[in-house]
Amino acid sequence: MDKQGVLGIFSYVDLTVKAVGKLKDEGFKNLRVFSPVPNHEIEAAVGEPESIVRFFTLFGAMLGAACGVGFTVLTASDWPIPVSAKPVVSIPPFIVIMFELTILMGALSTLLGLLINSRLRRNAPRSMYDPRFTDDKFGVMVTCGKDNVKKVEEILNSQGAEEIKFEGV
Amino acid sequence: MSEQNSLTYAKVNEDVIRMLDKPTVKWLALFLPVLGFVGFGLFCFLYQVYTGLGVAGYRHPVFWGVYITDFVFWVGIAHSGTLISAILYLFRASFRVSIYRIAEAMTVFAVLTAGLFPIIHLGRPWFFYWLFPYPNQRELWVNFKSPLLWDVFAVSTYLTVSSVFFFVGMIPDIAAIRDKVKEVPRKIAYTILSLGWKGSNWEWLHYSRAYLYFAAFATPLVLSVHSVVSWDFAMADLPGWHTTIFAPYFVAGAIFSGLGMVITLTIPIRKIFALEDYITLDNYDGMAKMIILTSLIVGYAYGTEFFMAWYSGSPAEWGQFYYRATGDYALFYWIMVVCNVLIPIPLWFKAVRRNIKALFIISIFINIGMWFERFNIIVISLSQGFEPGAWGIYKVSWVEMGITMGSFAWFFMFFLIFIKTLPAISISELKEILPVPKKEAKHHG
């Protein structure tokens, strides 16, 4: 394998953000930042494109609405039971079902979108994770060519990383 | 939140995870009686199944009694959980952060409890699945025009979505527990539940978006669910039920009762686990203000009902409301008015809103008052309909009381298990409102 992960562990957000900036300036694009909380500064520094979960949500909600229409209208027309002179396909009561199914399927597909998207790309090998990332530490993981490992280590050190770990070590 | 400035990221983890330590004798002393009551409720239910619905107090013309009251009551309790977790999230109200997990757990458990009652209420509960939308052997589908079927959709959607919302909100916190616990079985359990969460920027990116959408879905959902429940009544042509104010009236009442229950639940937890740094007086102050608002709406609705009954000129409608206030069930009616309208009035004073004992007492009265509100709407309306020859009185039987007690125990049982197994305060969201750890200009944030 000619790629290796290098992980720098930080205690402060501002140092983490600076390290990310510096690494990007030096041309390292394959970055992964770990943090115990979502943080806008980190998000802006890494500069990932907007989450595509929103398309899952939209699609799920539209599918749900369509199911709601289909469910009610088709079943009512399949075996029409006229009551008094009331319409067999009556929209107002069906709106309730459409509404609930829109929300149900919208929420479930959002869940699916979340699970798929945050796991599709492998996050990090196990040796590149530190349990303190759910506590109070921040981490910057760089995946780089083996010949660049030294350089990344230097950058991380110069930006105030408290510990440096190497993949597979 | 000035009171939370002494907290750090590490301290939050430590304090929340400390709540999950081995159950104490006190916890067991609470849990075992609760299990006993659940057992008694189950016994009553089995007795009813074996003997028939006659053992419930149903007498002509009242065939919706305590079980339906309990159903509406528990669905209502669920509502403020979603209000606190979703609606206040969209409004960025920071006072929700330390209480929302408890409120959300309350939502899920309350819906779980509520969902039992339509089944308990069935004469043949083993056929409950007939309500599900599938064609029977004659290829006839369920009646989508029936409010009872809307209920099936609304309540099951609510249970699903609020459970998903509850669980997704916990994933980063479960990961935090996974990284802290030492015992192997617990570690394995939390590892599975955390779904491999590592807290990377990718995960947070999608997570924050998804969470926002869940909140955006849960908000209209919560308003729709109690509206649909209210239409179970409002769609029927019965004096006292057939009115257009029911949906907002029920939703306001639901939030009112739910807030009461959140206060009732969090005050003991705050004391037992020494969470004064987290669940602050500001949190209670905020909830108490919402109680004032919803209490006013509920009180206004009580007044409107009477006004509309008089203004409509319908003798049946006016007779119904006159009967509510002065008839056989007048005691219950006035308990409702006192508990829901008069007792919350002291909350207008800041000193009362920030007095834990006073809040606790008021919240208990709100719970009682709201249970009676449901009872009054359902039972009194049924017992005096249009036809004087068909009027009747309903008396609650011991079986119904037993099952009602059992339902409270069932709810508290889940809650007690939750407190000892899952993070009752959101670790990651609490950290979000703490100052960000920075080397330079440390207090910025």
Helices marked H in chain A — which ranges?
13-25, 40-46, 53-69, 75-78, 91-120, 149-158
A118–B213 CB contact, under 8 Å: no
Q: Do B157 and A100 touch (CB under 8 A)?
A: yes
Query: pLDDT per residue over B245-273, tens digit each?
Result: 999 999 999 999 999 999 998 998 888 88
Residue of chain B whose Cα is closest to the Cα of A47: B201
Tell me which residue of B152, B320, B330, B120 sits closest to B232, measured CA to CA.
B152
Gap from A99 CA to chain B (nearest CA, Å): 9
Q: Are B262 and B106 in contact (CB under 8 A)?
A: yes
**Residue by residue, what is the 3-state secondary structure of B218-258?**
HHHHHHHHHHHHHHHHHCCCCCCCCCCCHHHHHHHHHHHHH
Partners of A113 on chain B (C-beta within 8 Å) are 206, 210
Average pLDDT, chain A: 85
Question: Phi/psi at A166 (nearest 5 deg)?
Answer: -115, 145
Q: Which pLDDT tens digit goes with each residue over B124-159?
A: 999 988 888 888 888 888 888 889 899 999 999 999
Rounded to an integer, what distance in angstroms lies between the CA atom of residue B232 and that of residue B382?
A: 13
Beta-carbon separation of B157 and A43 below 8 A: no
Write out pLDDT tens, residues B401-421: 999 999 999 999 999 999 888
Chain A stretch 115-154, residues whose beta carbon is closer than 8 A to a beta carbon of chain B: 115, 117-119, 121, 123-124, 129, 131-136
CA gap B157, A102 in Å, rounded: 10
The reply to whether residue B206 touches residue A113, judged by beta carbons under 8 angstroms, is yes
pLDDT at B442 over 80: no
Inspect the interface and report whether the beta carbons of B210 and A114 lie closer than 8 Å.
yes
CB B278 within 8 A of CB B98: yes
Nearest residue on chain A to B159, judged by CA atoms? A104
Contact status, residue B318 vs residue B305, Cβ threshold 8 Å? no
Mean pLDDT of the residues in chain B = 89
Unique residue bearing structure tokens 């049924």: B382
Tell me the nearest-neighbour CA distance from A166 into chain B, angstroms.
17
Q: Mean pLDDT across the stretch B77-90?
A: 85
- Give me the residue from B195, B428, B438 closest to A37, CB to CB: B428
* Chain A contact for B222 (CB, 8 A cutoff): no
Picking from B96, B80, B430, the residue whose alpha carbon sits closest to that of residue B286 is: B96
Tracing tokens 């209210």 back to the chain, one arrives at B230
pLDDT at A120 over 60: no
Question: Of the ranges B45-54, B190-199, B329-338, B375-384, which one carries the lowest mean pLDDT score?
Answer: B190-199
The structure's pTM equals 0.91
Residue A168: predicted pLDDT = 66
pLDDT at res. B1:
43
Sign of the CA dihedral running B249, B214, B16, B410: positive
User: What whole-number distance in Å separates Cα of residue B123 and Cα of residue B52?
Assistant: 7
Judge: B144–A76 Cβ closer than 8 Å, yes or no: yes
B-interface mutation test, from A78, A135, A141, most B Cβ less than 10 A away: A135
| Residue A11 in contact with partner chain B when CB distance is under 8 A | yes
pLDDT exceeds cutoff 50 at B3: no
Please identify which residue in the block is written with the tokens 């606190």: B84
pLDDT-derived band at B430 (thresholds 50, 70, 90) equals: confident
CA distances to A41, A50, B198, B408 from A140, in Å: 14, 20, 13, 49
Cβ-defined contacts of B349-353 (< 8 Å, 24+): B350/B285, B352/B288, B353/B284, B353/B285, B353/B288, B353/B289
- The pair of three-digit structure tokens given for residue A26, joined into one six-digit string: 């030096």
At B445, the pLDDT band (50, 70, 90 cuts) reads very low
Of B144, B195, B428, the CB nearest to A93: B144
Chain B closest-CA separation from residue A67 CA (Å): 12
How distant is the Cα of A1 from the closest Cα of chain B, in angstroms? 23
Chain B partners within 8 Å of A12 (Cβ): 437-439
pLDDT of residue B338: 95
Mark yes or no for CB contact B180/A107 under 8 Å: no
Digit-coded pLDDT (tens) for B8-27: 888 888 888 888 888 888 88
Higher pLDDT, B89 or B94: B89
* pLDDT above 70: residue B370: yes
* A38 Cβ under 8 Å from any chain B Cβ: yes
pLDDT above 90 covers a percentage of chain A that reads 25
A78 touches chain B (CB under 8 A): yes
Distance in Å, alpha carbon of A2 to nearest chain B alpha carbon: 23
> pLDDT-derived band of residue B42, with 50, 70 and 90 as boundaries?
very high
CB contact under 8 Å between A36 and B9, yes or no, is yes
> Does B192 lie at the interface with A, CB-CB under 8 angstroms?
no
Q: How many CB pairs under 8 A join A and B?
A: 184
Say if residue A104's pLDDT is above 90. Answer: yes
Whether residue B362 is predicted with pLDDT greater than 90 in this model: the reply is: yes
Residue A83 CB neighbours (<10 A): 10
Q: What mean pLDDT do residues A127-133 have? A: 80
Is A19 touching B (CB cutoff 8 A)? Answer: no
Q: Where are the beta strands (DSSP E) in B254-324?
A: none
Is the minimum CB–CB distance between B241 and chain A shorter than 8 Å?
no
**Residue B244 in contact with partner chain A when CB distance is under 8 A:** no
**Which residues does chain A have within 8 Å of residue B161's beta carbon, measured at their own beta carbons?**
103-104, 107
Q: What is the pLDDT of residue A67?
A: 93
Chain B nearest-CA residue for A43: B201
Taking residue B258's Cβ as centre, other Cβ atoms within 10 Å add up to: 30
**Looking at CA atoms only, how far is residue B152 from chain A in angstroms?**
10
- Whether residues A107 and B161 touch (CB distance < 8 A) is answered with yes
A62 touching B (Cβ < 8 Å)? no
- Write down the pLDDT at residue B24: 83
Helix or strand (DSSP H, E) at B263: helix B246-272
Strand order in the sheet with A138-145: A31-34, A138-145, A3-10, A163-166
Confidence class for position A50, pLDDT limits 50, 70, 90: confident
**Of the candidates A38, A60, A11, A6, which has an alpha carbon nearest to the alpha carbon of residue A162?**
A11
The answer on pLDDT for B441 being more than 70 is: no
